[in-house]
Amino acid sequence: MLTLGIDIGSTTSKCVLMEDGSKIIATGLKIGGLGTEGPEEALEELWAQTEYTREDIDRTIVTGYGRNKYEGADGEVSELTCHALGGRFIFPDLRTVIDIGGQDAKIITLGESGRMTNFVMNDKCAAGTGRFLDVMANILRMDIDELDECASHSEKPASISSTCTVFAESEVISQLANGVARPDLVAGICESVASRVGALARRAGVTPRVCMSGGVAKNSAVRHALERNLETEISFDPMAQYFGAIGAALYGYRQLTK
Protein backbone atom coordinates (compact mmCIF):
# COMPACT_ATOMS: atom_id res chain seq x y z
CA MET A 1 0.00 0.00 0.00
CA LEU A 2 1.42 3.39 -0.99
CA THR A 3 0.78 6.58 0.93
CA LEU A 4 2.04 10.06 0.21
CA GLY A 5 2.61 12.70 2.91
CA ILE A 6 2.95 16.34 1.92
CA ASP A 7 4.06 18.98 4.43
CA ILE A 8 3.51 22.49 3.14
CA GLY A 9 5.46 24.64 5.59
CA SER A 10 5.72 28.39 5.93
CA THR A 11 8.98 28.42 3.96
CA THR A 12 9.60 24.92 2.60
CA SER A 13 7.55 22.11 1.04
CA LYS A 14 8.44 18.53 1.87
CA CYS A 15 6.94 15.23 0.69
CA VAL A 16 7.53 11.57 1.43
CA LEU A 17 6.27 8.43 -0.33
CA MET A 18 5.90 5.40 1.94
CA GLU A 19 5.17 1.74 1.40
CA ASP A 20 2.95 -0.10 3.90
CA GLY A 21 3.60 2.50 6.59
CA SER A 22 7.04 1.05 7.13
CA LYS A 23 9.42 2.05 4.36
CA ILE A 24 10.35 5.43 2.88
CA ILE A 25 10.59 5.08 -0.90
CA ALA A 26 11.12 8.63 -2.14
CA THR A 27 11.35 12.19 -0.82
CA GLY A 28 11.18 15.76 -2.13
CA LEU A 29 12.08 19.10 -0.57
CA LYS A 30 11.90 22.54 -2.16
CA ILE A 31 11.93 26.04 -0.75
CA GLY A 32 8.53 27.72 -1.09
CA GLY A 33 5.24 27.09 0.67
CA LEU A 34 1.62 27.33 -0.47
CA GLY A 35 1.05 29.87 -3.23
CA THR A 36 4.49 29.16 -4.70
CA GLU A 37 5.86 26.45 -6.97
CA GLY A 38 7.34 24.79 -3.84
CA PRO A 39 4.80 21.96 -3.37
CA GLU A 40 4.74 20.91 -7.04
CA GLU A 41 8.54 21.12 -7.36
CA ALA A 42 8.99 19.01 -4.24
CA LEU A 43 6.59 16.42 -5.72
CA GLU A 44 8.46 16.46 -9.04
CA GLU A 45 11.66 15.70 -7.15
CA LEU A 46 9.91 12.80 -5.43
CA TRP A 47 8.43 11.30 -8.64
CA ALA A 48 11.86 11.42 -10.26
CA GLN A 49 13.11 8.95 -7.61
CA THR A 50 10.52 6.22 -8.20
CA GLU A 51 8.81 4.17 -10.88
CA TYR A 52 5.44 4.79 -9.24
CA THR A 53 3.13 7.53 -10.48
CA ARG A 54 0.34 9.54 -8.85
CA GLU A 55 -2.20 6.90 -10.02
CA ASP A 56 -0.50 4.25 -7.85
CA ILE A 57 -1.01 6.19 -4.61
CA ASP A 58 -3.65 4.79 -2.26
CA ARG A 59 -3.94 7.87 -0.07
CA THR A 60 -2.41 11.35 0.09
CA ILE A 61 -2.47 13.40 3.30
CA VAL A 62 -1.34 17.01 3.59
CA THR A 63 -0.13 18.78 6.71
CA GLY A 64 1.66 22.02 7.59
CA TYR A 65 0.96 25.70 7.56
CA GLY A 66 -0.56 25.61 4.05
CA ARG A 67 -2.59 22.42 4.47
CA ASN A 68 -6.08 23.96 4.55
CA LYS A 69 -5.92 25.42 1.07
CA TYR A 70 -4.07 22.62 -0.71
CA GLU A 71 -6.33 20.78 -3.12
CA GLY A 72 -4.26 17.80 -4.21
CA ALA A 73 -4.79 15.55 -1.16
CA ASP A 74 -7.43 13.13 0.16
CA GLY A 75 -7.28 14.59 3.66
CA GLU A 76 -5.38 16.84 6.03
CA VAL A 77 -4.04 16.55 9.54
CA SER A 78 -2.31 18.86 12.02
CA GLU A 79 1.46 19.33 12.15
CA LEU A 80 1.49 18.33 15.82
CA THR A 81 0.05 14.89 15.06
CA CYS A 82 2.44 14.49 12.13
CA HIS A 83 5.60 15.51 13.96
CA ALA A 84 4.70 13.13 16.78
CA LEU A 85 4.02 10.23 14.36
CA GLY A 86 7.05 10.98 12.17
CA GLY A 87 9.31 11.39 15.20
CA ARG A 88 8.17 8.07 16.67
CA PHE A 89 8.73 6.32 13.34
CA ILE A 90 12.40 7.33 13.50
CA PHE A 91 12.86 7.09 17.30
CA PRO A 92 10.31 4.60 18.75
CA ASP A 93 11.06 5.64 22.36
CA LEU A 94 10.65 9.36 21.65
CA ARG A 95 9.00 11.49 24.38
CA THR A 96 9.80 15.09 23.38
CA VAL A 97 9.92 16.70 19.93
CA ILE A 98 11.52 20.12 19.54
CA ASP A 99 10.40 21.34 16.12
CA ILE A 100 12.01 24.55 14.84
CA GLY A 101 10.69 25.58 11.45
CA GLY A 102 10.88 28.67 9.31
CA GLN A 103 8.32 30.68 11.20
CA ASP A 104 7.57 28.99 14.50
CA ALA A 105 8.91 26.66 17.16
CA LYS A 106 6.87 23.92 18.83
CA ILE A 107 7.56 21.59 21.69
CA ILE A 108 5.47 18.41 21.66
CA THR A 109 5.55 16.00 24.58
CA LEU A 110 4.44 12.38 24.25
CA GLY A 111 3.42 9.73 26.72
CA GLU A 112 5.03 6.30 26.71
CA SER A 113 2.48 5.07 24.17
CA GLY A 114 3.23 7.99 21.84
CA ARG A 115 0.02 9.89 22.56
CA MET A 116 0.51 13.66 22.71
CA THR A 117 0.41 14.92 26.31
CA ASN A 118 1.31 18.60 25.93
CA PHE A 119 2.51 21.18 23.46
CA VAL A 120 3.82 24.73 23.61
CA MET A 121 4.30 26.93 20.59
CA ASN A 122 5.96 30.21 19.67
CA ASP A 123 4.45 31.65 16.50
CA LYS A 124 4.36 35.29 17.53
CA CYS A 125 8.02 36.18 17.33
CA ALA A 126 10.77 35.36 14.82
CA ALA A 127 13.43 34.97 17.53
CA GLY A 128 13.88 31.28 18.26
CA THR A 129 12.81 30.23 14.75
CA GLY A 130 14.51 29.57 11.42
CA ARG A 131 13.55 33.09 10.41
CA PHE A 132 16.06 34.47 12.94
CA LEU A 133 18.84 32.38 11.38
CA ASP A 134 17.71 33.34 7.85
CA VAL A 135 17.91 37.07 8.71
CA MET A 136 21.32 36.72 10.35
CA ALA A 137 22.76 34.57 7.54
CA ASN A 138 21.61 37.26 5.13
CA ILE A 139 23.45 40.00 7.05
CA LEU A 140 26.59 37.86 7.16
CA ARG A 141 26.15 36.95 3.48
CA MET A 142 26.33 33.27 4.28
CA ASP A 143 24.22 30.29 3.24
CA ILE A 144 22.00 28.90 5.99
CA ASP A 145 23.82 25.56 5.91
CA GLU A 146 27.24 27.21 6.39
CA LEU A 147 26.34 28.56 9.82
CA ASP A 148 27.14 25.49 11.93
CA GLU A 149 30.54 24.88 10.34
CA CYS A 150 31.44 28.54 10.93
CA ALA A 151 30.23 28.40 14.56
CA SER A 152 32.45 25.38 15.19
CA HIS A 153 35.50 27.69 14.90
CA SER A 154 34.27 30.00 17.65
CA GLU A 155 36.44 30.51 20.71
CA LYS A 156 34.12 32.84 22.59
CA PRO A 157 30.53 33.08 21.35
CA ALA A 158 29.37 36.70 21.09
CA SER A 159 26.59 37.71 23.40
CA ILE A 160 23.45 38.78 21.53
CA SER A 161 21.42 40.52 24.21
CA SER A 162 18.38 41.65 22.17
CA THR A 163 15.49 39.25 22.27
CA CYS A 164 13.82 40.95 19.30
CA THR A 165 15.01 39.93 15.82
CA VAL A 166 14.99 43.50 14.52
CA PHE A 167 17.14 44.79 17.41
CA ALA A 168 19.35 41.70 17.29
CA GLU A 169 19.92 42.43 13.60
CA SER A 170 21.29 45.92 14.49
CA GLU A 171 23.37 44.38 17.25
CA VAL A 172 24.96 41.87 14.88
CA ILE A 173 25.65 44.61 12.31
CA SER A 174 27.40 46.76 14.92
CA GLN A 175 29.39 43.83 16.37
CA LEU A 176 30.48 42.94 12.83
CA ALA A 177 31.59 46.55 12.27
CA ASN A 178 33.48 46.45 15.60
CA GLY A 179 35.54 43.51 14.40
CA VAL A 180 33.94 40.65 16.37
CA ALA A 181 35.09 37.42 14.67
CA ARG A 182 32.43 35.88 12.42
CA PRO A 183 32.57 32.43 14.06
CA ASP A 184 31.94 34.08 17.46
CA LEU A 185 29.02 36.05 16.04
CA VAL A 186 27.52 32.97 14.38
CA ALA A 187 27.95 30.91 17.55
CA GLY A 188 26.26 33.71 19.52
CA ILE A 189 23.37 33.76 17.03
CA CYS A 190 22.91 29.97 17.38
CA GLU A 191 23.02 30.23 21.18
CA SER A 192 20.39 32.94 21.06
CA VAL A 193 17.99 30.63 19.16
CA ALA A 194 18.77 27.81 21.60
CA SER A 195 18.10 29.93 24.67
CA ARG A 196 14.69 31.07 23.35
CA VAL A 197 13.67 27.54 22.42
CA GLY A 198 15.14 26.17 25.66
CA ALA A 199 12.84 28.43 27.70
CA LEU A 200 9.87 27.25 25.63
CA ALA A 201 10.85 23.60 26.12
CA ARG A 202 11.11 24.00 29.89
CA ARG A 203 7.54 25.32 29.88
CA ALA A 204 6.33 22.19 28.10
CA GLY A 205 8.46 19.81 30.20
CA VAL A 206 11.30 17.79 28.71
CA THR A 207 11.41 14.00 29.03
CA PRO A 208 14.07 11.91 27.26
CA ARG A 209 14.28 10.72 24.56
CA VAL A 210 14.35 14.19 23.05
CA CYS A 211 14.81 14.89 19.36
CA MET A 212 14.76 17.91 17.08
CA SER A 213 12.68 18.18 13.93
CA GLY A 214 12.34 20.91 11.30
CA GLY A 215 14.97 22.57 9.14
CA VAL A 216 16.87 24.17 12.02
CA ALA A 217 17.62 20.69 13.43
CA LYS A 218 20.26 20.44 10.70
CA ASN A 219 22.26 23.18 12.46
CA SER A 220 24.43 21.28 14.94
CA ALA A 221 25.50 24.50 16.71
CA VAL A 222 21.88 25.22 17.68
CA ARG A 223 21.37 21.58 18.64
CA HIS A 224 24.44 21.41 20.88
CA ALA A 225 23.64 24.78 22.47
CA LEU A 226 20.15 23.46 23.21
CA GLU A 227 21.64 20.30 24.74
CA ARG A 228 23.72 22.47 27.09
CA ASN A 229 20.73 24.71 27.81
CA LEU A 230 18.42 21.81 28.68
CA GLU A 231 21.17 19.58 30.10
CA THR A 232 19.92 16.67 28.05
CA GLU A 233 21.01 14.76 24.97
CA ILE A 234 19.09 15.64 21.80
CA SER A 235 18.81 13.00 19.08
CA PHE A 236 19.12 13.97 15.44
CA ASP A 237 18.28 12.14 12.24
CA PRO A 238 19.11 13.44 8.75
CA MET A 239 15.37 13.09 7.95
CA ALA A 240 14.50 15.66 10.67
CA GLN A 241 13.02 18.15 8.21
CA TYR A 242 10.72 15.42 6.84
CA PHE A 243 9.10 14.37 10.12
CA GLY A 244 5.86 16.19 9.28
CA ALA A 245 5.65 14.59 5.82
CA ILE A 246 6.50 11.14 7.21
CA GLY A 247 3.79 11.59 9.84
CA ALA A 248 1.27 12.54 7.14
CA ALA A 249 2.12 9.43 5.07
CA LEU A 250 1.79 7.27 8.21
CA TYR A 251 -1.53 8.90 9.10
CA GLY A 252 -2.82 8.04 5.61
CA TYR A 253 -1.71 4.42 6.08
CA ARG A 254 -3.48 4.22 9.45
CA GLN A 255 -6.69 5.50 7.90
CA LEU A 256 -6.53 2.84 5.21
CA THR A 257 -5.77 -0.05 7.54
CA LYS A 258 -7.97 0.90 10.51
Residue 122 touching ligand ADP (CB under 6 A): no
Residue 134 touching ligand ADP (CB under 6 A): yes
In the complex, least distance from residue 44 CB atom to ligand ADP, rounded to whole angstroms: 18
Mask of contacts with ligand ADP, 14-53, x by CB under 6 A? -------------------x--------------------
Environment class of residue 116 by beta-carbon count within 10 Å: exposed (0-12), middle (13-18) or buried (19+)?
A: middle
Phi, psi (deg, nearest 5) at residue 227 = -60, -40
Interface with ligand ADP in residues 59-98 (CB under 6 A): 64
The DSSP code sequence of 144-178 is GGGHHHHHTT-SSPPP----SHHHHHHHHHHHHHT
- Of 3, 5, 45, nearest in space to 28 by CA: 45
CA dihedral 243, 249, 251, 253 (to 10 degrees): -140
Cα 39-42-219 angle, rounded to 5 deg: 105
In the complex, least distance from residue 189 CB atom to ligand ADP, rounded to whole angstroms: 11
Single out the segment in contact with ligand ADP by CB under 6 A; choices: 39-47, 111-119, 141-149, 203-211: 141-149
Member of 1, 10, 25, 41 binding ligand ADP (CB under 6 A): 10
Residue among 131 and 224 whose Cβ is closer to ligand ADP: 131
> Which residues contact ligand ADP by CB under 6 A?
9-12, 33, 64, 101-103, 130-131, 133-134, 144-145, 147, 214-216, 218-219, 241
